[in-house]
Structure 1
Amino acid sequence: MFKRNRLKRVRERLAAFATEMREKASRLPPGIEQENLLRKARQADVAARLDEWATSRGLQPPK
């Protein structure tokens, strides 16, 4: 049970990080810095999905 809760917290942190990066990017004018923040947000989303997939019982390919 401990391991599952810890993994859930990691996914929650990744989701919070992605949200924070999107909020920061929305306050910036279009440009390289904004794109970098949006890229970090997408990477955090992918990392959360991959982590969920890798730790799932069914282990099915990502959608």
Structure 2
Amino acid sequence: MAAGRAQVGDPAAVAHLDPEFVTRVLGRIADRVAEAVDQMRTSRPIRTAIVSDRGRLDPAP
């Protein structure tokens, strides 16, 4: 929500977060997701979408 990728709850609750911190966190999340997907390798490329009960979690392509 702080990165503007989702509209969940009250945006004021994350307004105090430093944008640089948010960017670093999103990068770490992307790295961890890539590691997890890499561990589930298949013999051919597949498209993935990571979702939760609150919506899509991965960056939209």
For Structure 1 versus Structure 2, the TM-score category normalised by the shorter chain is: 0.3 to 0.5
Bigger proportion of residues as helix: 1
Higher relative contact order (CA 8 A, sep 6+): 1
